Amino acid sequence: MSIREIVEIRDRLKSDLATVEKFLLIARRERAANDHEGPSPAGSQSNQQHTLQAILNQAHGDYGAIGKSVLEAIQMCPSEFTSADVNESLEKEKRSLAGTQISVALSRLRRQGKIEVVKPKRGRQPAVYRKR
């Protein structure tokens, strides 16, 4: 197994862990809200399944939604852009993503050949990308 494959697996696991953490946070909120409303009737498994599906939808959204959002934001950027430009485009569209989410999406888009690195990141200077 190459280092590149290990890094890709690590990135996928980080993404999966972030999803699980969001799921737990939403589940805790739901539980706290249900505790304030009072106990649910016994045997309401369908109600629990409905709540679980709502939690999953909130936690994860559509698969690939972040990459699609970043790709749409890139379309609004100049031909050469940085992650800060992508972030600005996302904010204009009233979407906000963490810098790490944008970075991971840009890395994946680069591997897919949809963008290329014009100038690699150096110290505090961001990488410069170009649309393909």
pLDDT in tens, 86-106: 999 999 888 888 989 999 999
Number of domains into which the chain is organized = 2
Cα separation, 15 vs 120, in Å, equals 23
Q: Do 82 and 124 meet the contact criterion of CB atoms below 8 Å apart?
A: no
Instruction: Enter the pTM of the model.
Output: 0.53
Q: Do 72 and 44 belong to one domain? A: no
The pLDDT score that the predictor gives to residue 85 is: 94
Domain housing 25: 3-60
Q: Are residues 69 and 52 in the same domain?
A: no
Q: Are residues 103 and 51 in the same domain?
A: no
Query: Going edge to edge, which strands form the sheet with 115-119?
Result: 80-81, 128-131, 115-119
Q: In this structure, are 48 and 77 located in the same domain? A: no
Q: What is the pLDDT of residues 38-63, one digit of tens each?
A: 555 554 555 555 555 555 554 445 56
User: Buried (b) or exposed (e) across 98-115, using 16+ Cβ within 10 A?
Assistant: eeebbbbbbbbbeeeebb
Residues 79 and 122 in one domain: yes
**End-to-end Cα spacing for the chain:** 30
